[in-house]
Structure 1
């Protein structure tokens, strides 16, 4: 019986052309006060996702890999949307308090809000070196500048993690792969919800096995980051 997992040989990192990409590292998803947090709480805890995300950030900074973060924001003018979208897009477009900001150039009310970054990650995300992209307004990078940020850095290899594995993170992964880059997903730095159809985390992992170039643990990813810091190829 034929069994397909991922490409073999597995993705190899390339010094100078590898980056860590994260999506939705925000209170709404990762803090207990966040509105989305209850939907993924079980998965965050089962995989120790918050700690693993910090491990990835710490390693990327220590070993000199670029970090690019794609946040999810909505502004009051997004209430003007009238075109139909998917279930999530329709819901979020009418619930502007979700990762909501007052205005693209006004940070009033931002600090500590659902749209803000958890305190533990701010020293990594706001160090003046991390590229925090413009917001994605749907589930993918098609509505922001993530791909441009990668291309302008000559990135060809991407390590990815984030709290919403089956929606935004998978959407970003698909966009990056379609742009001709290789992607490794960090399975225990990713979470997913559940509904009456089943487990979204499991669904994401199944799709990653078909689409991504690699599926690693945090330990594996950090080990490879360390190795690539001192070698051309690992």
Structure 2
């Protein structure tokens, strides 16, 4: 059964912006070639702008969920670094203090936004303060945006569900390295843990509908 639209009370809803770094979202970014085709196919940047703007307008708190920014020495003496972690170190992806490791110009932190501590692997929850930052403000529903659909995006949603949150995915609010990875994330894996899987248009309508009712 496909997850269905829901209602979103700004008091209990958070928008999670996962890894909105230049290395992913800007031409010239180190990982841009991975996602360029799907970003353009999904009209991703415009969709992200629309959703983040709408969240601010209706009072839904925006949470930035950033990946660890690479620094020299990362993973050198780790016992079991993952292939993705080693690859990130080799590429120096999201390197601290660089343009690539900075949030895209259109998604800078705004007054009232919350920035979680950086996650070292895929999910935004383990070994960060994200769960605490959500619960301290009474957030029960999380809407996910960002990258990659089948790694950090999916892992954050899965763990969020395990922690008791209502999880919404946005079909055209993410991207992956291939159509197959996107299909797996949205059509196969997503329905096993997400409570709603919406398009940008459906989500914006739901957010604005709640704002009108309120």
Alpha-carbon distance in 2 for matches of 1:81, 1:226: 49
TM-score calculated relative to the size of structure 1: 0.84
Partner of 1:5: 2
Alpha-carbon distance in 2 for matches of 1:12, 1:211: 18
Partner of 2:194: 212
Partner of 2:112: 129
Q: How far is 1:231 from its partner?
A: 3.0
Task: State which structure, 1 or 2, has the greater radius of gyration over its C-alpha atoms.
Answer: 1
Partner of 1:192: 176
Alpha-carbon distance in 1 for matches of 2:2, 2:110: 37
Q: Which runs of 5+ in 2 are unaligned?
A: none
Partner of 1:91: 87
Alignment: residue pair count = 211
1:117 aligns with 2:103: yes
Aligned pair partner of 1:229 in 208, 211, 214: 211
Q: How far is 1:76 from its partner?
A: 2.2
The DSSP-based 3-state class of the residue aligned with 1:5 is coil
Aligned pair partner of 2:47 in 49, 52, 55: 52
Alpha-carbon distance in 2 for matches of 1:151, 1:96: 35
Aligned pair partner of 2:26 in 22, 31, 35: 31
Note if contact 2:16-2:142 (Cα within 8 Å) is conserved in structure 1. Answer: yes
The DSSP-based 3-state class of the residue aligned with 1:149 is helix
Partner of 2:129: 145
TM-score calculated relative to the size of structure 2: 0.92
Q: How far is 1:158 from its partner?
A: 1.2
Q: CA RMSD in A?
A: 1.7
Note if contact 1:15-1:231 (Cα within 8 Å) is conserved in structure 2. Answer: no
